[in-house]
Amino acid sequence: MSDETKKETQRAVAAALRISTESIRLYRKLKGAPAGWNIEEWRTFVEQRGLNKASSDVLSELKVLIAQEELKKKGRENAVAEGRIIEQETVSDFLRDWMAKMDLLLSSELEVNAPPLLAGKSILEVREEMRRIHDRIRDATKNGLLKWQPGA
């Protein structure tokens, strides 16, 4: 199920129960919460737990869940700020750029540089020249990766 389909299903269940999608997201973390999106299972769960009446015990449990979520979010924000983790968007951008650079490098070395260097050479000479080309590609790859910094 796609993320958008999951969100729409979650919105439909929340609307049927007359609660917010935020509430559904939090209720899913409670013990015994339905694994799927069957409205009747959710209605039964909400009624049995008294979530539609929001007793003080349930509110306390939800407040703890909210506090835990906020703590996780702050921990992630701190880890990003301290450089211990890199955001997925940054890594995706890097990989997209890196693929383009690698394609250009391989095209340059193998399609442009190699043919004139290899023309008329014996198989041993071709292998030696290919080793040199391979070394240039390896060095360029290694240097590029070592120099990369998030956000650069």
Residue 129, pLDDT above cutoff 90: yes
3-state per-residue secondary structure call for the chain: CCHHHHHHHHHHHHHHHCCCHHHHHHHCCCCCCCCCCCHHHHHHHHHHHCCCCCCHHHHHHHHHHHHHHHHHHHHHHHHHHCCCCCCHHHHHHHHHHHHHHHHHHHHHHHHHHHHHHHCCCCHHHHHHHHHHHHHHHHHHHHHHHHHCCCCC
Extents of the domains making up the chain: 3-81, 88-147
Q: Residue 103: its pLDDT value, please? A: 93
31-62 pLDDT, tens digit each: 888 988 888 998 898 888 877 665 566 667 77
- What is the C-alpha separation between 111 and 35, in angstroms, rounded? 54
Please give the model's pTM, rounded to 2 decimal places: 0.46
